[in-house]
Amino acid sequence: MKTFVPENPGSNRRWLVVDASEKPLGRLAVTIANALRGKDQPTYTPWVDTGAFVIVTNAAKVKLTGNKEQKKIYPNYKGYLRGRRETTAEEMRAKHPDWMVKKAVEGMLPKNKLARTMMRRLKVYAGPEHPHQAQNPADF
């Protein structure tokens, strides 16, 4: 018996499109993180990067349940004394709606070099348009 180890797909990666409108942020982030890692493939191996490119559209319309729109806080620390800044989800949606999805997905990936590579394959857009039509992405 030999152990099968998949190769890095390189330029043959899948491209997936996810429409985020009216979907709960956490559930959406789980499906995106699994696709980036390759956990939705039968050849999943934790130490080999076999995931897909993921394009997220309509990130501004993602749904937050309960009081999270006013109570959820995105902290940012500048590195100085009193350098901590807090942004609510409501302010984040107004300024950078794509960051909400990116932060949620980033929190669901492992904290290592492989995850930083996976995050480069995540493309998030606030509206319904994206510039990746040439890759023939499949709906996810």
The pLDDT tens digits for 106-133 are 999 999 999 999 999 999 999 999 999 9
Both tokens of residue 105? 């997905």
Contact 60, 101 (CB under 8 A): no
pLDDT of 117:
94
pLDDT of 8:
85
Q: Largest Cα–Cα distance in the chain?
A: 59
pLDDT of 21:
96
Mean pLDDT of 34-61: 94
Q: What does the domain layout of the chain look like in residue ranges?
A: 10-65+93-139
Do β-strands 84-88 and 138-139 pair in parallel, antiparallel, or remain unpaired? unpaired
Mean pLDDT of 59-70: 95
**Per the confidence metrics, is the pTM higher than 0.75?**
yes
- CATH number for the region 10-65+93-139 comes to 3.90.1180.10
pLDDT of 81:
92
pLDDT of 56:
97
User: What is the residue-wise DSSP string for 59-101?
Assistant: GGG-B--TTHHHH-EEEEE-SSTT-EEEEEHHHHHHH-HHHHH
